[in-house]
Amino acid sequence: MTRRRRGLPLLPILVVLILMGLASVVASLAFGAEPIPLSEVMRVVEDRLAGHPIGSPFDTIVWDLRMPRALLALIVGAGLSIGGAGMQTLVRNPLADPYLLGISSGASVGATAVITMGLLGGLGTWALSGGALIGAMGSATAVYLISRAQGGLTPLRMVLSGVVLSAAFSSIASFMVFMSNDDHAANSVMFWMLGSVAGATWQRLLLPAAALVLVGVGMLAVHNWMDALAAGPETAAALGVRTGALRTALFVALGVLIGSLVAVSGGIGFVGLIVPHAARMLVGATHRRMLPVAAALGAIFLVWVDVISRMVAPPQELPLGVVTGVIGAPVFLFLMGRRQYAFGGRDS
């Protein structure tokens, strides 16, 4: 006999997480190669928000360098979390992460081509993000076309196509690095593939923020259909859900979202895998409750991961994927070891 877990009340959890997210962003501005007193951070933030003349010597560091970085970590963390939740529903697999469709590997090919071959040099500072976005969308398109040609967007076809193409794209990226005459190419590519928000600017927030809002709102709008899809195609069809159209729309939406995120931050592992499970444990498995909580948890998590990456070995910064891997692996094992947890929100 099973019963669906409803979890904790949604509104109080969301309010607490939003407040924690805001506090985390402000607190993170104090950390870095140049430690800044929290009182000075608050002064800069208050002056900027109020439109007053800037009176702090730390204004440029706090507002122009660290604030965009913190906000990008917030956006990427939230986006990877709902992307992971959506991917787990799309392929009905609790081990799915946002990069299952080979998007990260495709992006790495585009980014590697920019780093090693100087492609898209006319885009200036946008070259790396542009190359990564083109590679990511190319990979997603290839998975879609191959799956459709083989009989449709079934979970098994999408997973197999994504895994195979991911291996192929990784090999291509490695070949480009091997053939490069740049001695620093391997280090640059590796750092990018493990993820970083160090290059954040106010302008670079626009693309991932827009993708996050559009896809997040869209997924919440069809939360009932996604619940039905997670229960199985037979259940969804019995409830009148057009599973084929829903899978296609969800595939395209996730491709756009994850491609936009990878283009500005590289590949950051574990966030989209562990955070959706933590959200289900808190508020249950229904998408109306789980998606906003997953977004908030992922945002907070990645903000503090970025802080840790700056503080472990200053003045060097660790790639974010290193930190998320060290933290994420034991956390995931802990979550999966909970006796009362199972994917889909059912107790045993």
Distance CA 286, CA 6 (A): 8
Contacts of 130 (CB under 8 A, 6+ apart): 110, 114, 120, 123, 263
Q: What are 4's strand-pairing partners?
A: 346
Q: What is the pLDDT of residue 345?
A: 47
Q: What is the rounded radius of gyration, in angstroms, for the C-alpha atoms of the chain?
A: 20
In a domain, 88, yes or no: yes
Question: Structure pTM?
Answer: 0.90
Do the domain assignments include residue 51?
yes
Name the token pair of 317: 């910064």
- Number of domains making up the chain: 1
Give the range of the structural domain holding residue 185, as residue numbers without chain letter: 12-336
Q: Please indicate, yes or no, if residue 346 is contained in any of the structural domains.
A: no
Q: What CA–CA distance (Å, rounded) separates 91 from 158? A: 7
Q: Is 234 exposed, middle or buried (0-12, 13-18, 19+ CB in 10 A)?
A: exposed
Note whether residue 54 is domain-resident: yes
Residue 75 dihedral angles phi and psi, to the nearest 5°: -65, -45
Give a yes or no: residue 190 inside a domain: yes
Run of H or E residues at 280: helix 271-283
Chunked into runs of 10 residues, the chain (348 residues) has average pLDDT values of 60 94 94 87 88 77 93 96 94 86 87 82 77 88 86 82 89 86 77 85 92 96 93 85 90 90 89 92 92 97 94 85 90 70 49
Domain contains 1: no
Distance CA 69, CA 197 (A): 6
Of the candidates 177, 342, 141, 167, the one whose C-alpha atom is nearest the C-alpha of residue 254 is 141
d(CA 92, CA 155): 7
SS3 call for 325: helix
Pick from 5, 1, 10: nearest CA to 343: 5
> Can you give the CATH number for the domain in which 250 is found?
1.10.3470.10
Question: Do the domain assignments include residue 262?
Answer: yes
Whether 105 and 259 have beta carbons less than 8 Å apart is answered as: no
Question: Does 270 reside within a domain?
Answer: yes
Instruction: Please report the DSSP string for 76-118 in residue order.
Output: HHHHHHHHHHHHHHHHT-TT--TTTTSHHHHHHHHHHHHHHH-
